[in-house]
Every structure is written in C-alpha cells, then in structure tokens.
Amino acid sequence: MRTLYFDCFSGASGDMILGALIDAGASEQVVTDAVRGLGIDVWDVSVEPVMKGSLRAAQVWTATDPRSHSRTYVNIVKLLESADLSAAVRRRCLEVFSVLGEAEAKIHGVALDDVHFHEVGSDDAIIDIVGSCAALDDLGIERVIVSPIATGRGSTRSMHGEIPVPAPAVVAILPGAELYERGDRELITPTGAALLASWADSFGTMPRMKIEKVGYGAGNADLQWPNVLRVIVGDTQSETRSAIDTELLETNIDDMSPELVPFVIERALEAGALDAWATPVSMKKGRLGVVLSVLVERGATQPVLDVLFRETTTFGVRISSVDRAILDRKEEQVTVAGNTIRIKVGYHDGEVVSASPEYEDAATVARATGMPLKDVYRAALEAFGERRNS
C-alpha cells in the first residue's frame, strides 16, 4: 500500500506541507492548475531549493493580491464548490476547511456557518490548502501516518490578539495526535494541523516500509535545527497490522438513566475516542447496569476521561493497554442515483476482505432520493463490486 509518513520534528504549516509534497515528486503543474481553478485574479506560486541548516529543502513562496481579505466559512465553501477542481481534490479541500471551521466554531462559540476566517481565509492560505490537496492526490497516496508533532511554546499574535502556543485551533483540531514542546516559537499552524488531521489515517511512529521517495519542505524561520517538514513515501505490506498504542477505558454504571448513555458515547467520540460502546450487565444486589467502554489512542485519554467524569455518575475508570489487529484501509468512491458515496475498503494480505459504505453519505442519498437506506447500501456495494471487476 502506497503510504506517506509525515515526520513533524519541526512542526508543520501549509507552505511546508506543499513544499515537502512537491519535493517528494508531486507535479508543480498539477498544483498550479488546481490553484488556477480557484479563479483568484492575482497570484503566483514559486518553488525554489534552499538550505535549512545542513538540509536542502523546497521553499514555497506564494504571492497574492495584497488587498485579499479574510473570508467566512460559507464564502470558502462557495469558492471551492465553483472552482475548476477534480472531485477528489475538491472533497479533500472541503474536508480541510470543515475541520478548520468546526474548530473555530467550538473555540468562539458560534455556529459553523457564522465562522469568519482571518489568517486561514486569506488567498495565500487557501492556495496552500488547495495546492497541498492537489499534490497529495497527484502522489496517489493510499494511507497517511503522522508522527508526533513539535508545537513550539510561548505565545503568538493573531487577529484576536495574543494567544498561547500551540494555538487554541491547533489543540482543537488534533485531539488524537501526540504533541510535544520544542523551541520557543510557533511550529504547528492551524492550516498545517487541519491538513494533517483531515488526511491522517493514524498518528504514531513510522511503519515498516520500502522507501520510494523523501521530500523536505522548508519553513520560513531559521532555527537552531533544520526547520523543515520531512515526508517519506513508500510501500507498506498490505497485511493485518498489529497496533499496541491504544488504551481501553471502562467503567461500571448502575445508577444512571439508560437514555443518557448514547449521549455519553457521542461526546466520547467527539473527544477523540476511536470507538465506544455499552454492554448490559447484572451488578451487585441484582441491579441492572452497563459497562461503558471507550477505546482511545495512547496519550489521548484525558479528554475522554473528562467526558466520562462529567457526563456519567462514575467514581472511577479502569485503564488498560490493549493490542489491536488492524486491516490496511483505503477509501474509494462510487455513484448511486447520481450521488457520490465513499466506501471504506479493508485489505488483508493484499486482498479485499471488507467494504463498507460511509453511513452519512448513504443516509444523505436515502434522504434525497427516498430510497430505503438498506437499498442504498446494497447499490453502493454492487457498484463497488462492478468497479473492481471491470
């Protein structure tokens, strides 16, 4: 499986990601064509080799109209939906801005449609995001893994005044990632965080892989270490992978209304849980209760613990390390009744062993067409099978 590993030892920003992907072999022409499809009148993107410490890297320079202004989330969605982009690149771009928008909405306590982007709504930030999505698509990547991310520390200036590093938006965007301090300035930007979060299939160490290409994207600042983002592209075996970087949080509850349990599960998933479920049990004195179980990435337990303590009546939570066997996965798309539905595909030893339509996509089609949801699922899987056999 063609895999890309982001090595974020000096954080990541939009221009660093774009530079690294181009340096790893993405076509500059593909990036330029995608940016041109936005219809922004005055812009220029150039890539040049630079030295950052002892490492050569690709530096991306973006020149835009100095009169370009910030935009609302709704403005950006309209811009992307009308842009001349491939369906795959458009979807990636919309996902990135959805991640950014949801983070900003949560931080400022507003509805998603009322979010107003400042730095990430400018022309140069939009170009970085669209160019990066086009570059990733051009590389044909099937799986993305993101390393622990250096954040920097201290504070930085924004349109909202002075804010702590990592920025509130970064923390909101990366609940499942491993972050650590390095240096005394901002290293991971909201744009960089949103690109990584929307693309990442997992966060962790580099997998066993046969390396094909390596790319380095330069940051603007000169630091005590090479200020670059490294990407490593290669093939990983399409087999079941063992993962031991997860923890299981469990608590027994017998004094809470059962109708509250689904909300707790929903909040746990929003806090970054990988999975959550409830199991009916008979407890002491014959009382009926549930075992509430939540699976999380190691190092990301605190937000979920906060949910369990705030939203349930528990006085304690058991935490244990667990191993998982994970299928390699990729995403494909099919069309049902003129609508796109994403299909999650699982591989074992290079063979497709599982395929599942994305529920939200299928539900959207069912609502729009009046088809029963089960028929939408069946049609999506039939279309997937026909596509693979053609």
pLDDT in tens, the chain (390 residues): 789 999 999 999 999 999 999 999 999 999 999 999 998 876 788 999 999 999 999 999 887 766 666 788 888 999 999 999 999 999 999 999 999 888 888 887 888 877 777 555 478 889 999 999 999 999 999 889 999 999 988 877 766 668 888 889 899 999 888 899 998 889 999 999 999 999 998 888 888 889 999 999 999 999 999 999 999 999 886 544 445 578 999 999 999 999 999 999 999 999 989 999 999 999 887 889 999 999 998 778 899 999 999 999 999 999 998 877 888 778 888 999 988 999 999 888 778 899 999 999 999 999 999 999 999 999 999 999 987 776
User: In this structure, are 288 and 360 located in the same domain?
Assistant: no
| Domain end position, chosen among 307, 326, 345 | 326
User: In this structure, are 320 and 337 located in the same domain?
Assistant: no
User: In this structure, are 10 and 113 located in the same domain?
Assistant: yes
Q: What is the DSSP letter of 90?
A: H
- Containing domain of residue 304, as a range? 242-326
Q: Report the alpha-carbon angle 36-67-70, nearest 5.
A: 80
User: In this structure, are 152 and 256 located in the same domain?
Assistant: no
Based on the structure, what is the number of domains in the chain?
3
User: In this structure, are 173 and 125 located in the same domain?
Assistant: yes
Buried b (16+ CB within 10 A) or exposed e, 331-365: eebbebeebebbbebbbeeeebeebebbeebbeeb
Sheet holding 351-357, edge to edge: 328-336, 339-348, 351-357
Q: Quote the CA–CA distance of 182 and 170 in Å, as a whole number.
A: 15
User: In this structure, are 183 and 150 located in the same domain?
Assistant: yes
CATH for 384: 3.10.20.300
| Domain end position, chosen among 216, 235, 254 | 235
Q: Residue 159: what pLDDT?
A: 64
User: In this structure, are 79 and 161 located in the same domain?
Assistant: yes
User: In this structure, are 145 and 29 located in the same domain?
Assistant: yes
CATH for 310: 3.30.70.1380
Note if the pTM is more than 0.75: no
Q: Quote the CA–CA distance of 8 and 153 in Å, as a whole number.
A: 15
User: In this structure, are 229 and 363 located in the same domain?
Assistant: no
| Domain end position, chosen among 273, 308, 326 | 326
User: In this structure, are 251 and 357 located in the same domain?
Assistant: no
User: In this structure, are 163 and 269 located in the same domain?
Assistant: no
User: In this structure, are 119 and 177 located in the same domain?
Assistant: yes
H/E run at residue 63: strand 55-64
In the structure encoding, which two tokens stand for residue 51, read together? Answer: 């030295």
Q: Residue 42: what pLDDT?
A: 64
164: left (phi over 0), alpha (psi -120 to 50) or beta: beta
